[in-house]
Each structure stands twice: as structure tokens, then as C-alpha cells.
Amino acid sequence: MRITRRDFLKAAAAAAVAGRLTPSALAALGRTLRGEGHPRVIWLQGAGCDGCAVSFLNSVHFATVDDLLVNTLDVEFQSNLMAAAGDLAVSAAQAAAAQPGYILIIEGAIPTGSAGRYCMAWSNTTMEAAVQTTAPNAAFILAVGSCAAYGGVTAGAPNPTQAQGVGQLLGADARLVNLPGCPCHPDWLVGTVTYLLTNNRVPPLDAHRRPLSYFGVRVHDRCYRRHQQCGQPTFATELGSDGCLEHLGCKGKKTYSDCPMRKWNSRGPGEYGVNWCVGSGGPCLGCVQPTFPDGMSPFFVYSARPEAKD
Amino acid sequence: MPTTLTIDPVTRIEGHLEIQVTVDTVGGQQQVTEARCAGTMFRGFEIVLAGRDPRDAALYTQRICGVCPVSHALAACLALEDAFGIVAPDNGRNLRNLVLGANYIQSHVLHFYHLSLPDFIDTTGLLDASPWTPRYVRPDLIGGAAAATLVQHYVSAFTARRKAHQMGAIFAGKLPCVGSFVAGGCTQQVSAENVAAFRTLLNELRAFIQNVYLPDANLLATAFPAYSQLGQGGGNLLTFGAFDLNAGGTSKLFARGRRVNGTPAATDPQQITEQVARSWYTPASGNRHPSVGLTEPDRDRPDGYSWLKAPRYGTTPYELGPLARMTVNGEYTRGISAMDRILARAQEAMKLANAMNGWLDELVPGAPVVQPGSVPQTTAGVGLTEAPRGGLGHWLSIEDGVISRYQVITPTNWNASPRDDAGVPGPIEAALVGVPLDDLSQPSEVLRVVHSFDPCLACAVHAVRPGRQVSR
């Protein structure tokens, strides 16, 4: 019943036709996929909610998650999916980390209070220690979700566990790519993994180490709600009605992501999503920004300084 | 000679869980004689909530859990509506039920195929790479053609659960983590188009549950008869009820109720307390009703072994979850065991998918979706509902127009609770006693029983410091 790699290539080809992958990148991808062994991934989960892993399971636009897991990647440690538990799982993580060249995915923040004991990766090993020991041999490090990237809601004031994002913990690191979001969009993750595999370098990043291709344009600038009626700006005055949500607290003016175009929960390969927060009438929370949540809340209150770029 | 085995991490769950079992030979059979269940991650979520705008509660609390964010958003909305004195309009209520139902289906399918099934099948020759290797090889695993079919379903279930999320996002904005749930209803307006799109996916999922999921669950029950006896636990069941069918929520798809050793009993949420004798919190944090809950972490507490408190109804531990919902409502009568949890979950998915079809019919395009409300200066509210893995409660107090106290008790809080003040083990701890374990290096038997509860650990650890104002 094994799914062939051709399915993944087909999806990648569709992406290439749609201008999302260059032909040379596609060729490189094919070489990677035909090569000996599969790209290796170690996926650690710290102080978070596993929501980014669940979001990853929704991947279909660039590739389906079953295709990625069965045919494309060797996900050598991923707590939600792996067959092994306990000592056998830990030995898998340790064996994987001993062989350099993997993509290290970190989900969830890293508590540093109480000597790191607010979050254990596994028996007698704090999340902080697990990150410190798996980072050196990683080819690339992806901080997936706002908790891993910048601390996120886990580090919300007063940050009871002194939780940190990966960049804060490890310091400046050329291998690090931040893929924030609460949760991270599966396309941002799968698209970035594809970029790493085809180019063997990190993609062009903004000042917060986010890929410009996904986080380069302000949400408000591409939001259809601004001109919902005949090209004139209209403002919603109560929840559940039409119009721009700015006066109801929307943070789209200080948030940079492609949510308005990409949307969420894609229908199929190469397709965009069925809806998004603002599309459903909820204000943008600014969940991809480094100052989320404290700099973005109260969520339903109009922000006096909407133009500020965090 | 008793031996101790520690399983950390327990994988194929949500969050960070450590299981420690004592194994000894009883009546010629090596088996678990004692178990300890420990949550090993603490975020202090409710400390973060104190001092914030109450209306933000639904957006914050759903980030407690990436598997059941919808349930947290709904519990917070219900608590806020209780506090504000408002009720969601019919459209708002039905939209929220449909999103919650969509997330139940994705959660139940994920649990059966991706979290639980690998404990029961031999994937050798079918899935021979990580994350399915390394793996346990037990003599009782399903092999051959049946395993090949189940692995095929394991793969197609990725698509089914993705479509369940896609379906929910039509009214939720996105999943996981809902954009549209607010105090007073759901901001997504209803149109003939979005109702039709939802219905198309629902029909696909109903077919999947009917033709694939239910038969596979029954197949498992037939192949592993011992698990209809193993993992029984304490025998008490509790459900808060969910899926309101009218404006006040007096009628629900799943009614509130209890079973005390098989006997129905009335349910009064005021009887709930949390105990902390074996939890990493100060003694002052114990024996409180959640409306006056206090949680002060103390990682160095002697005798503490878990970040979970021990919620009790009266002084008694209760099991929460699909089996409790289905049994209390008379929909399931087969028994209480590891396999019964798996079967009740599958049957619940079917019942729910059918009910959702009716709620779709009730949606009225263009009719109101949100009842506006305003934040009182001083008030309190309670939101009781059900997450896929069991009853969920949010208790909220507002002072000076901001959150002064927020307390959450999740189903895994109950199911994975440590021992209480009287030394009585929690439901998972109790369910593991008597489980045979031949090979300590391959503890599949223990994992099967633990997984039957579908534990969700990020949900289960939380804390609030009452009256504390947050400066930022």
C-alpha cells in the first residue's frame, strides 16, 4: 500500500506550475528524493500545546502529511506519532542526534525557571537540556509556532516559568528559521522544509528570522474586508457583521503574514484554505508577531498605534 | 521480586506524561501491582490570564491545547456568557456545536488510528521507517492481511481527520485554534454556500466512520478480547454534558450525569474539589472548589510526583470521556474497560456525525450569529462542557472589569490524576493494576490501557493566583 514518491513529486510539480517552486528547485528536489536515505527530522516538543503538530497533520497544499511521513522524511523522533515509548523512544532520539545533518524542529517554548524542570523532554532530561544537546548536530533548526520562536502565550506576562524561544535560548544562529503562528500554518512549515532540501540554505528572512515569502506583507494590506462594499472602506461596529474589523480590535495593521491570501485548512494539493480568522469575522490576533500575546492584547480593543511594526 | 519500570515519555498522546509501574508475579502471572501517573510539564496558563480583558479568555484558553482548542474556547464563551448574562442566538449555538463536532471527529479518528492502533498491529513490512521504527514486537499483534488493511486505513485516516478540520474551519475560521468563537456566539455568518460546503465534507466523514472506523474498532475488540476485561479503573463515571440543543442549554445531545458503580446519580458541580497531597503545589492549594481555586507551584514539595492536581467529586475519583458520556446517556451498555473506551469513542463519533446533519438544517442564512454583551465590573461565571476526551470546566471571576481568577479542570486532570489526600489512586493509576506485563522492555500492554483514556497533558496542568494583577 506504500504511497509512491511520485505523489509527492506530482504535488511539487503542481506547486512549480503555480510559480511556487522554480524548475531547478524541482529538479533538486527530485535528486533529493531519489538519493540514498531520506532527509532526517528530530521534532522536540517543549512547553506548548502540540497544536503546531496537529496543524502539520493538516498539510496538503505542498504535500500531504502521509506522503511526507511515509515517503519523504525520516521523522526519527516525534512524540505524537512514533511507535516507541519510554527508553526505546529516548534511545531513538539519542541515536538520531548522534548522526549530524538533520532538521531539528522545536515546538513549544523552553522554560528556564526552576532549573528547567517545568518541562521534561523525557526521563531526567529537561526540555532545555534536550534542545542544548540536539542543536549542535542539526543542519537547520526550525522554531515552529510562536512559543518556540518567541515564547508565545507560554511566555505571556508574568511568564511564570521564564519560558524562552529557541533564538533567545541558543543566541544568534545562522541555521535558525522562525516559523511563528498560533499555530504555525502547515504550508509555512512544509514549504520551508522543501526550500531547505532543495537549496541547502535558509530562505531569505526578515529581521525576526521569518521567511519573507510567508511573512513579508502586512495582513491589512491584502485583507478583502477593507473594501467589502464597492471599494469604499467600511468598518464593522459589532461582532458578526460585515466590514473592516479594525475598530473591533483587529491587529492586521501590525501583523505580517500571508493569511489573507493563503488562508487555512486547504482543500487539496495546490489549493488554498477554506477560511481564516478575519474571514470568519474574528479579529486578527497578531499571533505571528514576536510581541504576541502581550503586545497584541486586549484582542477586541482598538489599538492606538496600528502602524507600529514589531 | 517487585520491579519498577518508568515509561517517560509516554508517546502517542498530547503532552508530557510519565508512567511508573511496579511489576510483580501474582498467581503465576507477571503483572502491574501499582502505578503512578505524572504530568511533567507546567506552564502556569491561568497566572498569565489574571489581569487580562475577560473577552480575551476564549482566545487565550484554547491555546491550552492544540488537540481540543474548540472545547476550551467554548467553555470560556459559556463562562463569559454566564458572567455577562447573555445567551448565544440559535445560529451562534448551532455553529459552535458544528465546529465542536468537527473537532470531536478529527480527535477521535486521530486517537483511534494514529495514537492507539500502533499498539495493536504488526507494521513490519508495511511501515519500515521512522517514526514507526523502532517498535515493539509482541506475540499478540495483528499481522498479515488484516494488518495491511489497517495500515492502509491508518494512512487514509490522515485524510479523514484533515477533512474534519477543513470542515470545522468553514465556520471556525481556522483549525486548530478557532478564530470565530466569542462571548455571545460565533462571528462567522451563515450562507447557503458555507452550509453546503460543510455538508459535503460531513457526508464524506459519516461514510468513513460508518464504513471504516466503526468496523475497525469492532475488529480490534474481537482480536483482543482480554482488553474488554483489562483496564477497568475505579468504575465511577462523570459527564458535564455538551452540545446544547436549546438557548438555555437545558437540553443537550449528551446530558449531564454520573454513574456510581453502575448506578445513576444526580450531579452537582459544587461537589468538585481539587486535592494536592501528591502534587507539586503548596498545601494551601488543596481542597478547594475551582471557583475559589488556588495554585501555587512548589516543585520541591516532598512526596509530590505530578504537576496534575487530583480533582475529586466529593472525595471520589471519576473517569471522564466518551465512555462516560455514552454510558450515562444510555447509549452504551457493554461495560467499562480499555476496549470499551475505544468502542464507545467510535460509536460516539457516528452518533455525533448524524446529529450534526440535523444542526446544519437548523442554520438560517442571514440570521444573527452573536448576542452583544458588555463586561460587568464585578461578577463570576461558569462554563461546563465536554472536550473529546471528557468533561471540561472553566471557572472565572471578574473584578474591576478584568479577570481576577481563572480556573480550568480538564478531563485528563481527572483521568491522569495522582493519588489524593487519602492516598486513593487516580483512574489511570487504578486501571493499570492487574495489567499483565511479560516483557519490561516492551510495555505494549500498559500503553494500550493508558492510550484508551486518550490522555491530553497540556490541558491538565494549569494554575492561577487569585487577585493577582499583572503588570505589563
The rounded Cα A262 to chain-centroid distance in angstroms is: 14
pLDDT tens string A2-11: 434 445 555 5
Amino acid at B436: P
Confidence of residue B355 (pLDDT cuts 50, 70, 90): very high
Q: Do A88 and B136 touch (CB under 8 A)?
A: yes
Closest residue to A276, CB basis, from B152, B173, B187:
B173
Q: Do A75 and B130 touch (CB under 8 A)?
A: yes
CA distance A128 to A119: 8
Confidence of residue B467 (pLDDT cuts 50, 70, 90): very low
CA distance A46 to B284: 28
In words, the CATH class of domain A217-310 is: few secondary structures
- Closest by Cα among B276, B61, B22, B268 to A51: B61
Q: Which residues of B touch A70 (CB under 8 A)?
A: 127, 129, 155
- CATH architecture type of domain A5-214: 3-Layer(aba) Sandwich (3.40)
C-alpha cell at A256: 505580517
Q: Do B180 and A88 touch (CB under 8 A)?
A: no
A119 classed as catalytic: no
Identify whether the C-beta of residue B322 lies closer than 8 Å to the C-beta of residue B217.
no
Give the residue extent of every domain in chain B. Answer: 3-460
Residue A25 clears pLDDT 60, i.e. is over it: no
A220 classed as catalytic: yes
Count of positions (residues) in chain B: 472
Which of A233-237, B150-154, B162-166, B312-316 bottoms out in mean pLDDT, i.e. has the lowest?
Answer: A233-237
Q: Which residues of A touch B472 (CB under 8 A)?
A: 157-158, 294
Closest residue to A82, CB basis, from B11, B165, B168:
B11
C-alpha cell at B6: 518508568
How many CB atoms neighbour CB B302 within 10 A?
Answer: 5
Q: Residue A95: which region, alpha, beta or left (left: phi > 0; alpha: psi -120 to 50)?
A: alpha
Furthest-apart CA pair in chain A: how many Å? Answer: 63
Q: Do B134 and A88 touch (CB under 8 A)?
A: yes
Catalytic residue among A119, A184, A185, A220: A220
Comparing alpha-carbon positions, the chain B residue that sits nearest to A55 is B176
- Closest by Cα among A137, A95, A102 to B133: A95
Q: Do B174 and A275 touch (CB under 8 A)?
A: yes
Q: Do B175 and A82 touch (CB under 8 A)?
A: no
Identify whether the C-beta of residue B2 lies closer than 8 Å to the C-beta of residue A37.
no
Closest residue to B67, CB basis, from A50, A64, A281:
A50
pLDDT of B295 = 77
How many CB atoms neighbour CB B34 within 10 A?
Answer: 15
pLDDT of B441 = 96
Comparing alpha-carbon positions, the chain A residue that sits nearest to B121 is A83
pLDDT tens string A80-91: 999 999 999 999
C-alpha cell at B303: 512526596
Identify whether the C-beta of residue B327 lies closer than 8 Å to the C-beta of residue B259.
yes
Residue B247 C-beta-side C-alpha neighbours within 13 Å: 10
Residue B463 clears pLDDT 60, i.e. is over it: no
* A148 phi and psi angles, rounded to 5 deg: -70, -35
Residue A27 clears pLDDT 70, i.e. is over it: no
Mutation site for A-interface testing, chosen from B20, B43, B123 by largest number of A Cβ within 10 Å: B43
Q: Do A87 and B441 touch (CB under 8 A)?
A: yes
CA distance B282 to B301: 7
Q: Do A157 and B48 touch (CB under 8 A)?
A: yes
pLDDT of A12 = 54
pLDDT tens string B369-400: 999 999 999 999 999 999 999 999 999 999 99
The 8-class DSSP code of residue B111 comes to I
Share of chain B above pLDDT 70, in %: 98
Cβ-in-10-Å burial (0-12, 13-18, 19+) of B317 comes to: buried
Identify the three-state secondary structure at position B56.
helix
Beta strands in B329-389 (DSSP E): 379-387
Share of chain A above pLDDT 90, in %: 79
Share of chain A above pLDDT 70, in %: 85
Residue A277 clears pLDDT 90, i.e. is over it: yes
Residue B19's H or E segment, with its range, is strand B17-26
User: Following DSSP, what letter does each residue of chain A receive, concatenated?
Assistant: -PPPHHHHHHHHHHHHHTTSS-HHHHHHHHHHHHSSS--EEEEEE-BS-SHHHHHHHT--SSS-HHHIIIII-EEEEETTT-S--HHHHHHHHHHHHHSS-EEEEEESBEE-GGGGTTBEEETTEEHHHHHHHHSTTEEEEEEESHHHHH-GGGG-TT-TT-EE-HHHHH-S-TTEEEE--SS--HHHHHHHHHHHHHHSSPPPB-TTS-BHHHHSSBTGGG-GGGGTBTTB--B--STTSSSB-GGGT--GGG-B-SHHHH-EEESSTT--EEE-TGGGTPPP--TTSTTTTTTT-STTS--S-TT---
Q: Do A264 and B297 touch (CB under 8 A)?
A: no
pLDDT of B48 = 87
The rounded Cα A202 to chain-centroid distance in angstroms is: 14
The 8-class DSSP code of residue B291 comes to G
Q: Which ranges of B363-443 does DSSP label H, i.e. alpha helix?
A: 411-415, 427-432
A87 shares contact with chain B (CB less than 8 Å): yes
CA distance A152 to A180: 9
CA distance B168 to B181: 12
Residue A310 clears pLDDT 70, i.e. is over it: no
Comparing alpha-carbon positions, the chain B residue that sits nearest to A272 is B166
pLDDT tens string A256-274: 999 999 999 999 999 999 9
pLDDT of A292 = 97
- Closest by Cα among B410, B389, B294 to B61: B410
CA distance A203 to A242: 37
Measure in Å the smallest separation between the Cα of A135 and chain B Cα atoms: 20
Q: Which residues of A touch B168 (CB under 8 A)?
A: 265
A230 classed as catalytic: no
First to last CA, chain B: 56
CA distance B71 to B65: 9
The rounded Cα B30 to chain-centroid distance in angstroms is: 31
Give the residue extent of every domain in chain A. Answer: 5-214, 217-310
pTM, full prediction? 0.94
Measure in Å the smallest separation between the Cα of B200 and chain A Cα atoms: 12
Positive or negative CA dihedral for A115, A118, A123, A126? negative
Residue A206 clears pLDDT 50, i.e. is over it: yes
The answer to whether ipTM exceeds 0.90 is yes
The stretch A33-42 carries a mean pLDDT of 74
Q: Do B129 and A77 touch (CB under 8 A)?
A: no
The 8-class DSSP code of residue B119 comes to G
The stretch B404-431 carries a mean pLDDT of 96
Positive or negative CA dihedral for A22, A24, A27, A31? negative
A113 shares contact with chain B (CB less than 8 Å): no
Residue B41 clears pLDDT 90, i.e. is over it: no
B375 shares contact with chain A (CB less than 8 Å): no
Closest residue to B134, CB basis, from A81, A92, A279:
A92
CA distance B72 to B398: 18
Q: Which residues are CB-neighbours of B290 under 8 A, at least 6 positions away?
A: B272, B274, B393, B395, B407, B408, B409
pLDDT tens string A118-167: 999 999 999 999 999 999 999 999 999 999 999 999 999 999 999 999 99
CA distance B205 to B183: 29
* Location of C-alpha cell 479594525: A246
Cβ contacts from A onto B, under 8 A:
289
Comparing alpha-carbon positions, the chain B residue that sits nearest to A45 is B15
pLDDT of A30 = 52
Using alpha carbons only, what angle is made at residue A278 by residues B353 and A187, rounded to the nearest 5 degrees?
Answer: 75
pLDDT of B273 = 95
pLDDT of A14 = 54
Residue A247 clears pLDDT 70, i.e. is over it: yes
Q: Do A275 and B297 touch (CB under 8 A)?
A: no
* Location of C-alpha cell 467529586: B313
The 8-class DSSP code of residue B265 comes to E
A284 classed as catalytic: yes
Identify whether the C-beta of residue B27 lies closer than 8 Å to the C-beta of residue B14.
no
pLDDT of A11 = 52
B463 shares contact with chain A (CB less than 8 Å): yes
Measure in Å the smallest separation between the Cα of A158 and chain B Cα atoms: 6
Mean of pLDDT over chain B: 95
Amino acid at B298: D
Identify whether the C-beta of residue B261 lies closer than 8 Å to the C-beta of residue B376.
no
The domain B3-460 is placed in CATH, from the list 2.170.8.10, 1.10.357.10, 2.40.340.10, 1.10.645.10, at: 1.10.645.10
